[in-house]
Amino acid sequence: MSEGKHNQKRESSSAAVSARRKREASRIAEYNGMVQDLNAKMNAKEYSPESFILTTRLLEMNPDFYTVWNHRRTILLHTSLDTADSDAKQAILNKELSLFMTLIRINPKSYWLWNHRMWCLVTMPFANWNGELDLVDKLLAMDARNFHGWDYRRYVVRQLRSLAKDEHEEKAIVRSEFEYTLRKINQKVTNYSAWHQRSKLLPEVVQDMSDKERSKLFEEEMDLAKAAIFTDPNDQSAWLYYGWLMGVENTSDLIVGAFHLINAPTPTTLVVLSNKCTLLRSPEVSDTDGQTVPGQWYRVAGSLDASATWLFASDGGVPHKITIRKDMVAPAAECTATVDAIEGHPDLFTAVKDRRHVLKPKKAYNDPSIEVRPWHTVNMTERVVEELEELRELLEIEPDSKWLLQMFTKLLLLNIRLNPTLAQESEDEVLELLSRLINIDTYHRARYQLIKTRLELQREVRQGVKSDRANALLVSMIQD
């Protein structure tokens, strides 16, 4: 009897699966049919109530269908919004906002839903931006790490700032947002979006402060970051903010070395950067007399137009100096380097020849957030040493924390930059830490190995060694 019951359950289950599949197939067929119908109507420019109803039905089934959102806006602009007065437009777009509130429950992280809400607000005659701030506040109360919510909040704040009646009111908005990030961090120290937003606001908050007030705020922010770090050393959020406060990303010159290969078949100069960058336009190349050396730039290896190794093929003249300005490279940076002559090996020539791609100039985007802004007057040369001592103590407690090891390594590199006389001793420790990170954080093993290689190459250049070792390091960097 038990066997019979068992078989009946299996048959019943199989029947249920079959029935569900039939329902799903019917629903998919209905969905595809509506898509085809809507596309046909839009191609015929049939901006009718039936077309509008089709967009509603499709979006209720799939709120991420961005083409349908585009069709919906097109229909609205050609029909009801085209002839409506201000009050009627407001009512129409308020209905759209109500639709948003219904659909957002399906997927609160839908790009296209948030995009439609922004369109509604900038299109409506009487947008309530303060109300939007309240709305996103409630959303982030439910999901404090919803980056779509944070992105939308930044958008709303930009709108409020643009509407501020004077500079005082705009600064009050910035200060209020700064305080909001603190509330969110205190609620959950792992809230990366709140830390990130705080770093964007801080340089504005301090604009009217005295040097003493700025330095006091720096200490308060350091205490905030370190309290979060000691609470959870294995979360990256506070570490990233701490690193931003300390300026660890600017731990080395952009150009590790520039090498003119004196025995290359054609005039060739290899330029090795400290990290993968995209050249937006050609860096400046000059000879010993300061005259421009014409030529073509190539990306060597890398991907998506970014690389740590670049090649300059001169049309005449020998490069002596290479200058990269902040509008020439992304991320933005500035650096000037003297070119060293080196005898290249055949395997180096082969590696370069097989992996070079012509530089395609790109439009530079002026993002003020990437500018290095000295917003405090703390003596960082002394401060880095103090922080290294503190983190060394933490390392004894958390020897395998990858975020701690990463930050300690970056601070050592920053200390080398600020105190060049410590280079040899500190570099030895950095290389040892990178070896530990390679074993602990295997997912980023290649990145750590590349940093090791660059550091070793810097040593070769600094010591004036133009050896087989330098060639081997260059080849390994090109092949990574």
* Euclidean distance between CA atoms 231 and 186, whole angstroms: 12
- CB-count exposure of residue 480 (10 Å: 0-12, 13-18, 19+): middle
Assigned architecture for domain 255-358? Sandwich (2.60)
Checking if the pLDDT of 18 tops 50, the result is: yes
* Euclidean distance between CA atoms 239 and 403, whole angstroms: 7
* Euclidean distance between CA atoms 285 and 318, whole angstroms: 9
Q: Which long-range contacts (CB under 8 A, 24 or more apart) does 196-199 make?
A: 196/150, 196/240, 196/241, 197/150, 197/154, 198/241, 199/241, 199/244
Kindly report, residue by residue over 423-455, the tens digit of the pLDDT.
Answer: 777 888 999 999 999 999 999 888 788 788 878
Which residue reads 């005259």 in tokens? 291
Query: Given this model, what pLDDT does residue 367 score?
Result: 47
> What DSSP character marks residue 321?
E
CATH class of 28-200: mainly alpha
Taking the model in full, what pTM does it have?
A: 0.77
Kindly report, residue by residue over 290-306, the tens digit of the pLDDT.
Answer: 999 999 998 887 666 78
Query: Given this model, what pLDDT does residue 84 score?
Result: 93
